[in-house]
Structure formats: structure tokens, C-alpha cells
Amino acid sequence: MSSDLAARVTQKLDVRTKKRLDGKGQFWLIFRYFALTILFVIAALPIYVMVINSVKGITGVSQSAAFIPPTSLNFEAWGPTWEVLREPMLRTLFFVTQSSIISAVIGAINGFVFAKWKFRGSNLIFTTFLFGMFIPYQAIMIPLTKFNQWAGIGGSIYVLVFAHVIYGIPICTLIFRNYFAAIPNELIEAARVDGAGMVRIFRTIFLPLSIPGFVVVLIWQFTSAWNDFLFAIFLTGGSPKLSVATTALNFITGSGNQVYYGNNMTASLIVSIPTLLVYLFLGRYFLRGMLAGSLKG
Amino acid sequence: MRATRKKIQNPWGGFLFVLPSIIAMAIFVYGMIGYTFVESLENRYNAYTTKIEFVGLVNYIELWSDPEFTHALSNLLKFTAVFMIGCMLSGLIMALLLEKGIKGEGFFRSTYLYPMAISFIAMGTSWRWLMDSARDDDATGLNYILKNIGLGALQSDWYTSEAGSMYAMALPAIWQMAGYVMALFLAGFRGIPDDLREAARVDGASEYKIYRHILFPQLSPTFLTVLIILGHISMKVFDLIFGIATKSYVTKVLAIYMWQTIFDFQNYAKGAAIAIVILLMIAVAVIPYLIYVNKTEEANK
């Protein structure tokens, strides 16, 4: 169960030392902190560079001073950058909200069936769904573009809602299936004795219990759709009318503008803020979504 | 009891519930892969091809004599090797440092994992600057750090030189995914019952021996999962490279080349063939893995 995996990762171990550490024990503890701190510096470096250079103005980023924090805060680069990014980011928010909600509903229904209302061959079908999680989207991109034109959503932002809903089915189903599998069968048996059918059992027992599952799926779909670049660039063809957060950012930081680091780093930071906030406040749920993708349980 | 249960639970109810998704997967995953495959066997070499003909495996055969394709493929394999080894090692080291629990664990863990929440188009800006190839007095980014800590000799062209480009490109990839690998290993370590360790300790086994002979063997399913996840991500790698070096020749991989073939040259037949090659490289590892997962689940019941 992915929630079990996440619980294992985040479990609080008793770290109080029961006895005084001997010399060897102290050495290892210091060594561990030293190594962890080095890894912390490496992990934080790219975002550190991004943050400090976003408050040095548009041209104020001298090449060698970039590691040094600014002496005074200069938000000059934020205004114009936000102006350019506002529309694409609002557009992204618009489609991501829809695709996440639809994905979660579909995932809940599928997950319930694959975990608790199995039919002959359901495990095999579930496995064929999972394969959809691993495929390179290049292998479906050409016909998908044609389909979108045929379906009349080509050239509108709904191509992205559609793509993220369809290709999100495997992961959302998997997350809910693992989540529901942990709910005891006795609940169903009891409801059945009372004469409840599948739809009623799903609606009255499983849906109310599934809030954490919904949070995991919504966060996962939100983050992956917000950060997605592949679908965006293939399906919107780089049209400015349909630019989303990542494609707009790529347009700002792309070749030719690479010297304006202050500006580019500000833009990159602005685009990252929504997903970083989600991670900061709901990181536990994000971890669950991430570990669900590993299939194991 | 069994009989009444069957009567109450209509087995087809569940099927009807998931039928829309089954249809969607059948069309948009399997059907579209089939479509792409058929397209890869045809002659649509540009947007103006009107007479579409079946040409068989010609497009695949031609890929092998296309120097740009073999270049992209060898780049991808180099990248994959460094990325997978680097990610495994760094993720494992992080997990080993944390697995027994340490004060501040939550803080370190969260920092190691945050890269997963950011798009590579955004982080590419930082990494492009960090891996700037200017040296010595002009040095910025990592070269600047190396110069100032007395490791000036290690200054590098990073992703801009033919020889080292893919190894350099693996750095940001490792940076992004190492935390994920750490989480998987942490889950693995913490799923092993404490009794096993305790028993070995009582028997006088050294910590090294406990890891080597007791813990690591227990982790083999985790290793397999990590390999599959890293492998399939590596085969598909696109945003990461695009965000840093766009379509630069020295860092071209199959996914970038496919995108270029479709968008810049509108050579659909060839683009489709490249896509199918990527798919096959993933499928040979993932399909057996899925069957294995399915079997172990059945066995656990």
C-alpha cells in the first residue's frame, strides 16, 4: 500500500540515545550530520541561486557575485515578469483545476472497482492500465493531435484538460485502488446484509472515507500537470494564445534571452511558487502520490 | 454462503463502472500506439505527402544508418548509465544516513525531495547558469566554486562539450530524482522487521555485516523497482534536456530528436519510428516487471 510506504518513510523513530555514545558512536553521529549537511547544500543550491538572483534587479546580476546574497532587496524584475506570466499562469490554473478534479473522480470510481468490486479479468485489465503509466507519450502524440482536431478541441486549452485526464487514469486509479484496498471488507459485507448495492456502498461508505485519497490525487495531478511541458508543447504547438506556465517560461528563458539571468531566474521562481507551496504545506500527500507510482505495497 | 454472495454481488456492475476507462485506455493508449506503429511503416516523410504507401520496416532500417539517430541513441545510453548509477548511489547514501532516525530527519528528507515538485523548465535556468562553461577569470556557477576551493583543474565545459555533455546532463537529473530513490529505500529499510537486526546483533555480527548479509538482500524488490522507475524515466527524458540545452546537438537524445523530426521537419513516418523505438526500449523492461508485480500480488493474497 502506498500509504503504508509513505508512513514508513515518515515514521518517527525514537532518536533519543539510551546510553551515552562512546567515541566511535560520536564519530558516526558527527559524520552523519556532516554528510547530511553537504547533501543539503547540494540539494538547495539551485533554488538558492534562483531566489537570491530574483531580488537583484533585472541587470544587477554580476556573474561572479551570483552566489552571494544581495545587500538590499530589489524587486525590479518581478513586476514585468509577472505581467508576462500572469495570463499563462491563470490559464494553467484554469485547466489544471479541471483536469485534477475530473481525474480524481475517475480514479476513485476505478480504484473502488479494482480494489473491492472485482470482476473476472479485472486484475489483468488493471495491469494493462498500469502500462499506460510507463509509456513514452511520444508514442501517442501524433494520433492524439489528429484526434484533437477531429474532436474539435484542437486549438483550445481543453486539449490539455483532456490529455491530463486520459493519461492520468492509470496513476489515479492506482492511488485509489491502493487506498481502498486498506479498507476492511467487513464494512462491505455488513452493508450488503443491509441490502445495499454497489453504487450505494461506494457512495455512502467509500466516498466519505476517501478524502485523503482525493487530496493525494488532486495534489499529484496538480503538480504533474502544472509542471508538464511535453503535452503542452506538442498539443498547443507553441501558440502564444494557449501558452501555459512552462511554455511561457521556456519562451522567456529560451535562446537569445539567456544572458538576462536576473529576469530568467525571477520568471522561473514565479512559475515554481504554486507547486513549491503545495509541497511545503502538503508534502506528505505528495510523497504518497510519488510512492504510489512505484507500484509496490 | 458463496451462492448467496454471488447473487447479491452482480459481477458486471464493477465492469460497467470502469468500462469508460477501459475504452479510453484501449483507444488512447493501445489504439494510438498501434496508429503510431502503422504510421512508422508508411511513407509520410513531410506534410505534403498525398499518396500514402506502406513501406514496411524501411524507416527503421534507415534509422540505423542515420548518424543523428545513432548519435542520439548513444547519448541516451551514456546518460542512462550515469543517471541510474548516480541516482542509485546518492539515493542509497541518503537513505543509509537517515534510516536509523536522526534529529532533524524531517528537514533533511524534505529538502532532498523538493526537486520532484519543480518543473525542469524552471530548474533548467539555474542549472544552465551553474553549468556555465566559462573558466578561470570569467568563471561563474560551478566552475567559479571549483576555482575558489582550489579545484580549478576540475573546471569543466559541462554540457557543452562533445565528450562530457551527457555525463554533465546527468547531474541535474540525479539532483532531481535522488530524493525519490531515497524515499523508496527508506520505505524498504523501514519495512524490514527490527527483530532481524537485533538477532544478528545478539549473534555478534558487525554493522557492516548486518547491512551486507541481512538488510540488502531484503531490499532486492526495492532495487528492482528503483531500476525500472529510473530506467523508464531515463528513456523518455525530454524536459530536463530541453530546459537546459534545447535542441543542442551534443546533448540530443531520442525524445528531443523525435520532437525535432515532427515539428521542424514534419517527417511523421520517421518521428513515429523513433517513438516506437523508445517505447520498445521501455516495454522490454516494464512488461515483465508488471507481470512480476501482478504475480507477487496474487501470491500475497
Burial of B117 (0-12, 13-18, 19+ CB in 10 A): buried
Half-sphere exposure of A164 (CA within 13 A, CB side): 30
Q: Rounded mean pLDDT of A37-53?
A: 92
DSSP classification of residue B136: G
Q: Chain B within 8 Å of A39 (Cβ-Cβ)? A: yes
Predicted local distance difference test score (pLDDT) of residue A232: 93
Burial of B56 (0-12, 13-18, 19+ CB in 10 A): exposed
Closest CA–CA distance from residue A8 to any residue of chain B (Å): 5
- pLDDT tens sequence across B189-202: 998 888 888 888 88
CA distances to A8, A175, B48, B297 from A1, in Å: 11, 9, 51, 11
Residue type, A22: D
Q: How many CB atoms lie within 10 A of CB B118?
A: 25
- pLDDT tens sequence across B231-270: 999 999 999 999 888 888 889 999 999 999 998 899 999 9
Give the one of B8, B36, B119 whose C-beta lies nearest to A246's C-beta: B119
Q: Chain B within 8 Å of A36 (Cβ-Cβ)? A: yes
What does the alpha-carbon distance between residue A233 and residue A249 come to, in Å, rounded to a whole number?
A: 12
Q: Rounded mean pLDDT of A86-102?
A: 96
Judging contacts by C-beta atoms under 8 Å, the chain A residues touching residue B279 are 135-136, 138-139
CA distances to A7, A9, A120, B227 from A2, in Å: 8, 11, 25, 18
Q: Rounded mean pLDDT of B13-35?
A: 95
Q: In CATH, what number is assigned to the domain containing residue B188? A: 1.10.3720.10
Predicted local distance difference test score (pLDDT) of residue A296: 54
Q: Rounded mean pLDDT of A198-203?
A: 89
Residue B201 belongs to some domain of the structure: yes
Asked if A114 contacts A127 with a C-beta cutoff of 8 angstroms, the reply is no
> Does residue A18 have a pLDDT over 70?
no
> Does residue B153 have a pLDDT over 50?
yes
Q: Is B252 strand, coil or helix?
A: coil
* DSSP string for A174-204: HHHHHHHHTS-HHHHHHHHHTT--HHHHIII
Predicted local distance difference test score (pLDDT) of residue A255: 63
CA distances to A54, B111, B224 from A42, in Å: 19, 10, 27
Closest CA–CA distance from residue B71 to any residue of chain A (Å): 19
- pLDDT tens sequence across B213-225: 888 998 998 999 9
Q: Chain B within 8 Å of A166 (Cβ-Cβ)? A: yes
Q: What are the boundaries of each domain within chain A?
A: 14-67, 78-292
Q: Which residue in B29, B93, B136, B263 has the most chain A C-beta atoms within 10 A of its own C-beta, making it the best mutation to test that interface?
A: B29
For A103, the grid coordinates are: 481525474
Tell me which chain A residue has its CA closest to the CA of residue B15: A119
Asked if B181 contacts B230 with a C-beta cutoff of 8 angstroms, the reply is yes
- Cβ of B17 and A268 within 8 Å? no
Return the sign of the alpha-carbon dihedral for residues A48, A54, A56, A59: positive
Judging contacts by C-beta atoms under 8 Å, the chain A residues touching residue B274 are 138
Residue B6 belongs to some domain of the structure: no
> Does residue B133 have a pLDDT over 80?
no
Q: Rounded mean pLDDT of A88-117?
A: 95
Mean pLDDT of chain A: 87
Predicted local distance difference test score (pLDDT) of residue B2: 44
Domain range for B182: 67-300
Mean pLDDT of chain B: 88
- Cβ of A127 and B111 within 8 Å? no
What does the alpha-carbon distance between residue B1 and residue B7 come to, in Å, rounded to a whole number?
A: 10
Predicted local distance difference test score (pLDDT) of residue B246: 82
What does the alpha-carbon distance between residue B92 and residue B88 come to, in Å, rounded to a whole number?
A: 6
Q: Chain B within 8 Å of A135 (Cβ-Cβ)? A: yes
Asked if B100 contacts A13 with a C-beta cutoff of 8 angstroms, the reply is yes
- Cβ of A139 and B113 within 8 Å? no
Greatest Cα pair distance, chain B, in angstroms, is: 83
Asked if A36 contacts B102 with a C-beta cutoff of 8 angstroms, the reply is yes
Buried b (16+ CB within 10 A) or exposed e, B280-297: ebbbeebeebbeebbeeb
- pLDDT tens sequence across A106-154: 999 999 999 998 888 899 999 999 999 999 999 999 999 999 999 988 8
> A78-292 architecture in CATH?
Orthogonal Bundle (1.10)
CA distances to A81, A266, B237 from A58, in Å: 10, 9, 32
Total count of domains within chain B: 1
> Does residue A297 have a pLDDT over 50?
no
Q: Which of the residue ranges A24-28, A40-44, B57-61, B103-107 would you say has the lowest mean pLDDT?
A: A24-28
- pLDDT tens sequence across A222-241: 999 999 999 999 998 778 88
Asked if B84 contacts B157 with a C-beta cutoff of 8 angstroms, the reply is no
Residue B31 belongs to some domain of the structure: no
> Does residue B8 have a pLDDT over 60?
no
Residue B178 belongs to some domain of the structure: yes
DSSP classification of residue B42: B
Residue B239 belongs to some domain of the structure: yes
- Cβ of B124 and A134 within 8 Å? no
Predicted local distance difference test score (pLDDT) of residue B135: 74
Chain A with chain B: Cβ pairs closer than 8 A:
300
> Does residue A1 have a pLDDT over 60?
no
Half-sphere exposure of A170 (CA within 13 A, CB side): 20
User: Which spans in chain B are helix H?
Assistant: 2-8, 11-25, 32-40, 58-64, 67-98, 105-113, 120-130, 141-148, 165-190, 194-202, 207-209, 216-218, 220-236, 239-245, 254-263, 268-300
Tell me which chain A residue has its CA closest to the CA of residue B190: A8
Residue with cell 520498445: B280
> Does residue B286 have a pLDDT over 70?
yes
Residue type, A197: G
> Does residue A196 have a pLDDT over 90?
no
Q: Chain B within 8 Å of A208 (Cβ-Cβ)? A: no
Q: What is the ipTM of this complex?
A: 0.90
Residue with cell 524534505: B110
Asked if B96 contacts B180 with a C-beta cutoff of 8 angstroms, the reply is no
Which positions 266-295 of A are in contact with B (Cβ < 8 Å)?
267-269, 271-272, 275-276, 278-279, 283, 286-287, 290-291, 293-295
Q: Chain B within 8 Å of A64 (Cβ-Cβ)? A: yes
Predicted local distance difference test score (pLDDT) of residue B154: 75
Q: Which one has a higher pLDDT value, B279 or A251?
A: B279
| Closest of A140, A130, A161, A127 to residue A293, by C-alpha | A130
Q: Rounded mean pLDDT of B100-117?
A: 91
Residue B37 belongs to some domain of the structure: no
Closest CA–CA distance from residue A81 to any residue of chain B (Å): 14
> Does residue A212 have a pLDDT over 80?
yes
> Does residue A194 have a pLDDT over 90?
no
> Does residue B147 have a pLDDT over 70?
yes
Share above pLDDT 70 across residues of chain A, in percent, rounded to a whole number: 92
Predicted local distance difference test score (pLDDT) of residue B1: 40
* DSSP string for B160-196: GSTTTHHHHHHHHHHHHHHHHHHHHHHHHHHTS-HHH
Q: Which one has a higher pLDDT value, A49 or B28?
A: B28
> Does residue A269 have a pLDDT over 80?
yes
Judging contacts by C-beta atoms under 8 Å, the chain B residues touching residue A120 are 11
First to last CA, chain B: 21
For A15, the grid coordinates are: 532518536
Predicted local distance difference test score (pLDDT) of residue B227: 94
Q: Rounded mean pLDDT of A268-291?
A: 92
> Does residue B136 have a pLDDT over 80?
no
> Does residue A2 have a pLDDT over 60?
no
* DSSP string for chain A: -HHHHHHHHH-----S-SS---HHHHHHHHHHHHHHHHHHHHHHHHHHHHHHHHTB-SS---SGGGGSPPSS-B-TTHHHHHHHHHHHHHHHHHHHHHHHHHHHHHHHHHHHHHHHS--TTHHHHHHHHHHHHHS-THHHHHHHHHHHHHHT-TTSTHHHHHHHHHHHHHHHHHHHHHHHHTS-HHHHHHHHHTT--HHHHIIIIIHHHTHHHHHHHHHHHHHHHHH--HHHHHHSTT-GGG--HHHHHHHHHSTT-TT-HHHHHHHHHHHHHHHHHHHHHHHHHHHHHHHHTT---
